[in-house]
Amino acid sequence: MTRIISGFAGSRELKVPKNGTRPTSDRVREAIFSALEARDVIDGARVLDLFAGTGALALEALSRGAMSVTMVEKNPQAGSLLRENAELIRGAGKLDDLSTRVVVASVAAYLGNPQSELFDIVFIDPPYELSEAEVTHALELLVPHLAEDAEVVLERSTRTGLPELPAGLELDKSKAYGETTIHWISRV
């Protein structure tokens, strides 16, 4: 069961695809959001969730005060459930349709298109089997989409090691939670 932990939609259960996604555990999400709240960056933030899966990270941010969330997922089945999950959370907070956006496309295709919006918080939770080269390429494409003080949260397998960062990004810290490591990345 994947659920929203806190905020106006706390305890709401999200729909999860039968296969093809690995939702971030409650423990890891709680650690991520405790850190983001300590940095006071969620309220009013524009959030991008790449490899969104269930949308749990973006929708958690929305429940805790983010202004808008864009969720990118290439799996059409997951995209359909993302729309349902977004509608559930918008309804809980009486938010308009513009507060959530679901994009069914590959991360590279989405980031490769010019965007006018800059994002304050970006969650990147790719499949663990995605190569480091593909993750680095996604990070490279992401740089022009980041607001000046953006927070980038990259979730990877602990066995993967430190990510290779492209020019424009630097690693602030990494913290392991069992099989999952969270890398905190900022724009330079």
- Write the single-letter amino acid at 178: G
| Cα–Cα distance, 85 to 90 (Å, whole number) | 9
pLDDT at res. 12: 94
Phi, psi dihedrals of residue 156, rounded to the nearest 5°: -140, 165
Query: Is-contact 142 152, C-beta < 8 A?
Result: yes
| Cα–Cα distance, 23 to 114 (Å, whole number) | 29
Low-confidence ranges of the chain (pLDDT < 70): 19-22
Range of the domain at 110: 2-187
CATH of the domain at 48: 3.40.50.150
pLDDT at res. 114: 80
Summarize pLDDT for 123-138 with one digit per residue, the tens: 999 998 899 999 999 9
| Full-model pTM | 0.95
- Give the total number of structural domains in the chain: 1
Structure token pair of residue 6: 């806190």
**Cα separation values, 30 from 21, 59, 82, Å:** 19, 13, 20
